Structure 1
Amino acid sequence: MISLYELSRIMRPDDANIVGNVHGGTILKMIEEAGCIIGTRHCNTQRGTCFSGSDVDNDRCLAALARVEHTDFLYPMFIGEVAHVSAEITYTSKHSVEVQVNVLSENIVTGAKKLTNKATLWYVPLSLQNVAKIIEVPPIEYSSPEREEAGKKRYEAQKLERLETKERNGEVITHVSLPEPYTVGFSQSSLIHLVCPSDCTLHGFVHGGVTMKLMDEVAGIVAARHCKTNIVTASVDAINFHRKIKKGCVITVSGRMTFTSNKSIEIEVFVDADPLVEAEKGKYRAATAFFTYISLDVDNKPLPVPPLKVEGEEEQKRFEEGKARYLQNKAKRLADKEQQQ
């Protein structure tokens, strides 16, 4: 049974921004590729007889990304370094797979390695014969009952949060004409992308990693417009994939600032899909997430972030919600640090 997968790739100029920091979206794309591979391999093991007893010999599947948990970017990665991505299946429910991924950067000159990212992703296996059909997941063996119970708690928590995020799906970002500097309207940005075959899985739906890369690019533009400095991804809150995006759709990726602390910026990103061929189905919200960026000087040291000018009750409400997430994540980092000591 497949439980571990590793991939490595050297970082090239196309992977980085103008000062040599590797794009957060590039790293997210590699994380998702590793997760998709191990998830698909695992879900296609033991395909002879389904666990409910039915014959599924020919019912192969592909693991589709459903959710990415909060992801921290612990250290920047640079051109010329090697990214080592390792993915491990840590929990399975009847119809979903939890994959935990670690990313190490290696300086091939000095041999020094650093842990740059830890991520948790959830996949559901979709039949290659019928994309609407979710395949049953082969179980894994746990090293202890405690690990299985902890995985079950994570599964229940993410399931509940996914349901809660659907309430935000109707919201639309509206553009403001001639906004003042440091306001939400001044920095908000959108990107339009036609989904091509190279963006898609065997099902003809967009790879989750492609979507995440576009989301990071838009969030990066928003952060750069606000700060006018070099900016890098610091963390990504849960990315929820609400609906699949089909080949031939036009997707609009929109980002707006929600909160600033002294040294960080939170940006909310929406992905809307518009089917060109099946236009009668209408535009729909496909994915949502919060990205956090920090501003760096020429020596890659953190810089103070210009405060966000909040206008109106809605922006004030989003600011307060962002502040709550910031404080919650800060407390979690401190707790994790104390636990490791």
Structure 2
Amino acid sequence: MEGKKIKDSQVTTIQQMTHQDANFAGNVHGGVVMKHIDSTAGIVATRHACSNVVTASIDRLDFYSPVYVGDLLILKAGVNMVGKTSMEVGVRVEAQNYITGETRTTALAYLTYVALDTEGKPAQVPPLIFETEEEIRRSTEAKARRQMRLAERIREYKAKAIQPDSKNV
């Protein structure tokens, strides 16, 4: 399978936040931001895999500053790492006051997607072609996050196995 450059699937989306996205104080709900993160990252994953994808996990989502009604929500996303059938997509979220031009980092997120074939089964994804040291660094960091996710999953399974009363946890 031929590799793909990271820049070939990167996207930036921009959406103006309105009153329907916010609470009574004018702060945009975190869930609204999360939906835009998942949608933007899904576009990146689909472009890279050239197939349908599903969100497997949101590994990390940290909010740093609020988004207000009227702000432009700017989401910049790209593939950080690929496995056999999965890929990590990183998303940087910025809020921009379109009147003053002030831009602030609002959130960072890492999501894992699995590519699907036409029958809904996991499908192989193209390898990444790295062009910069920054891309290599991001991939190395993504591999470390993947190892942490796998170790945590093993810990969770072991904890559930030794707790007989946790049937539906």
TM-score (norm 2): 0.90
Total equivalences in the alignment = 160
What is the letter of the counterpart of residue 218 of structure 1? T
CA distance in 2, matches of 1:230, 1:237: 20
One-letter identity of the residue aligned with 1:216: D
Percent identical residues: 36
Q: Are residues 1:192 and 2:14 paired?
A: yes
Contact 2:3 2:127 (8 Å CA) reproduced: no
Give the distance between the partners of 2:11 and 2:19, measured in 1 at CA.
26
Selected match of 1:328 from 148, 154, 162: 148
Q: Which residue of 2 aligns with 1:236?
A: 58
Query: Displacement of 1:254 after TM fit?
Result: 1.1
Compute the RMSD of aligned alpha carbons. Answer: 1.5
2:113 maps to 1:293 = yes
Asked if the contact 2:3/2:128 (under 8 Å) is kept, the reply is no
Give 1:339 shift. Answer: 2.4
Counterpart code for 1:215: I
For 1:181 and 1:306, locate their aligned partners in 2 and report how far apart those are by CA, in whole Å: 5
1:276 CA drift (Å): 2.4
Partner of residue 23, structure 2: 201
Provide Cα deviations, 1:239-274, integer angstroms capped at 9, x if missing partner: 111001111111111101111111210011011111
User: Are 2:57 and 2:111, in contact at CA under 8 Å, matched by a contact in 1?
Assistant: yes
SS of equivalent to 1:288: strand
Map 1:239-250 → 2, pairs under 5 A: 239-250=61-72
Q: Residue 318 of structure 1: SS of its match in structure 2?
A: helix
1:227 to 41, 49, 66: 49
The 2-side partners of 1:239 and 1:339 are apart by 24
Unaligned runs of 5+ in 1: 1-179
Tell me the CA shift for residue 181 of structure 1. Answer: 6.5
> 2: CA distance between counterparts of 1:325 and 1:220?
19
Structure 2 unaligned runs (5+)? 162-169
Report the AA paired with residue 158 of structure 2. E
| Residues 75 and 94 in structure 2, CA contact (< 8 A), matched pair in contact too | yes
> Are positions 1:310 and 2:112 aligned together?
no
Which one-letter code corresponds to 1:326 in the other structure?
R
Q: What SS is found at the alignment partner of 2:128? A: coil
Normalising by structure 1, we get a TM-score of 0.45
**Residue equivalent to 1:67:** none
1:259 matched to 2:81: yes
Aligned letter for 1:204?
Answer: G
Residues in 2 aligned to 1:202 and 1:248: alpha-carbon distance in whole angstroms? 14
Instruction: State the 4+ residue runs in structure 1 displaced beyond 6 angstroms.
Output: none
Q: CA deviation at 1:338?
A: 2.5
Q: Take 1:276 and 1:228, find their aligned partners in 2: how far apart are those partners?
A: 34
| Alpha-carbon distance in structure 2 between the residues aligned to 1:203 and 1:338 | 44
Distance 1:331 1:302 in 2: 22
